[in-house]
Amino acid sequence: MRTMIKLIAILLVILLLSAALAPAFYQLFDRQFKFEKVFKRLIMIFTLVATVLFVRVNPKELLSYGLTWKKDSLKLILTAFAGGVLTLMLLTVVRVRMGAAVWSIDEPWSWGWTLRSVGFLGAAFLIGVIEEFFFRGFIYVSLKDRLLWGWIPSLVATNLFYSFVHFTNYYKPFIGRDPTFFDSFRLVAVPFVTFWNWHPIFPEALGLFLFGILLTTLVIRSKSLYPAIGFHAGCVFFIKSDGFFVHPVNMQSLVFGTEKLVDGILAWIFLIVLIWLVRRTKTMQSSIRLMGVSGLLVMVFLPWVWAGPMKEDKGLPSQFTVVYRFHEHLAEAETWIIDAVKGDRIGSWEKDRFVFPGMEKITEIALKSQTFNGQPEEGIYFHPLKDAVRCLRFYQVPAGSSLVIGYGIDDAGVLKDQRSYIFFRVWVGRHEIKRIVIPNERGWKTEKLDLGIVSFLKGKIPVTFEVSSDTTEGRFLSFRAEILGSPT
């Protein structure tokens, strides 16, 4: 009981310190980082400090978490890494053959491709080591051995925690350009809001739970973290790099999931089969070898695999279709300005643009063609405001698999010798799916946003674009967005 009270007190001190210091550090770094990221990094730093000060772990005790190095440990890591990559490759092959993805080798081999792959590899092993030591090592072993929960309750509790921790910032509250102590506590409440509205996250949460069960089963069978580290790293590496050669389409069904791979019924079946195989094999080496069976299957069926659909020349895959162009429905939208000082304003449509009665002409919203780095682009054109948020909402938008958005500051609108930013947010229903910080630079950028659970919806949805700025000087933002889906 005393230990629990001490732990709660430490957590409260960490939250209070992080909440108090986050606004100051956000300003110190000149708003270059998101406020949420600054707050989370402070929590992580103070947690590490508290661990060093209050949790004195004997270095020998680390070995009990599965870090004992043996002569076959490196072999287990590398074999499990290959097993993770090849398992997801087989899953991808099945998705391609069933029409849920297309091969998309847009970029030939280059040094840039190689450097990014090396970066993905390093990130994959870093994630594998940190997460496996914390979840399958520290958390699982502590529950099972120290609290005497037994291996099944410990297995379930560890991987429920592992799954849900991925969604602690799923719902993001609006944070102004000058956040305060109380904005920090609004972020603390985000995980509770996420778990209360659990329906959108359920497919991915279930997939991550099964993935965690598989990794813990590897640890139990091998009495070592190294196979789990290797398999986890292989899966992360594949997910980070599969954009080089495959493009998901036709995500109107829960069967295939999204680009995250684990949020569809097909992936759940793969994970359940792997868990069963690992538990049924007599030795750990046999379990690891079974993970490589997928690689042999890929090789055997290679001609059949490459007969699958290919992406067409630099355009959208043949399965893609544009189901909604926002600029074509500008007159059907609603727009307003949220201003705590001057009061909220609602815009009205007149002829070919939105106007705000009683406000300057620069507040109008219209469709215009502007020049970006010498290249013309047509988009929805409007002026961001300081200390206010401009909102543009489109209703009755058909659900699709992804949203492609292009945006930029035109050549004439870039401010000289000034460091400033435009803050651009995209909301689908009540869910913020993207937050973009646009620097004071000319140019046009395009991003593709996965709509996740939205792709499974049959009804139409509202989509909202929010824009604000950190300067009062005249700068105009242009953007163009489209919803992509699959032909019905």
Per-residue pLDDT of the chain (488 residues; tens, 9 = 90+): 565 576 677 778 888 888 888 888 887 876 666 777 788 778 767 876 776 565 555 555 555 666 778 888 888 888 889 888 888 888 888 877 777 777 766 555 556 567 778 888 888 898 888 888 878 887 888 788 766 678 888 899 989 988 887 776 666 666 666 777 777 777 777 777 767 767 777 888 899 999 999 999 988 888 889 999 999 999 999 888 876 677 666 544 677 777 677 888 888 998 898 888 888 766 555 555 555 555 555 545 544 444 445 444 444 444 457 889 999 999 999 999 988 777 888 999 988 899 988 888 888 899 988 887 777 888 999 888 888 899 999 988 887 777 889 898 887 766 665 677 888 889 888 777 788 888 877 778 888 877 755 544 556 888 999 998 877 666 788 999 998 875 44
Task: State which of 274, 306, 338 marks the end of a domain.
Answer: 306
CB 211 within 8 A of CB 84: no
Q: Are residues 477 and 392 in the same domain?
A: yes
Q: Which of 384, 427, 429 is nearest to 177 (CA)?
A: 384
Q: Which of 378, 390, 366 is nearest to 444 (CA)?
A: 378
Identify the pLDDT of residue 181. 77
Q: Evaluate whether residue 65 is within a structural domain.
A: no
Residues 6+ apart with CB under 8 A from 444: 372, 373, 375, 377, 406, 407, 408
How many structural domains is the chain composed of?
A: 3
295 with 394, same domain: the answer is no
The verdict on 148 and 125 lying in the same domain is yes
118 in the same domain as 234: yes
User: Do 186 and 211 fall within a single domain?
Assistant: yes
Q: Is residue 311 part of a domain?
A: no
d(CA 184, CA 173): 10
Q: Is residue 171 domain-shared with residue 271, that is, in the same domain?
A: yes
Residues 412, 356 share a domain: yes
**Quick check: is 9 in a domain?**
yes
262 with 152, same domain: the answer is yes
**What is the Rg, in whole angstroms, of the alpha carbon atoms belonging to the chain?**
25
Does one domain contain both 268 and 333? no
Domain boundary among 9, 31, 56: 56
What span, in angstroms and rounded, lies between the C-alpha atoms of 193 and 164?
12
pLDDT attached to residue 452? 56
Does one domain contain both 75 and 51?
no
Write down which residue in 255, 273, 306 finishes a domain: 306
Cα–chain center distance at 300: 34
Torsion from C-alpha of 426, 430, 433, 435, nearest 10 degrees:
50
Note whether residue 62 is domain-resident.
no
User: 401: left (phi > 0), else alpha (psi -120 to 50), else beta?
Assistant: alpha
Range(s) of the domain holding residue 260 = 70-306
Beta strands in 210-256 (DSSP E): 246-248
Residue 389 maps to which CATH number? 2.60.120.380
Alpha-carbon distance 432 to 466, whole Å? Answer: 10
Please report whether residue 314 resides in a domain. Answer: no
Could you identify the residue written with the tokens 């996740």? 452
> Are 278 and 342 contained in the same domain?
no
Residue 471 in any domain: the answer is yes
pTM of the model: 0.61
Q: Has residue 315 been placed in a domain? A: no
- State whether 352 and 477 are in the same domain: yes
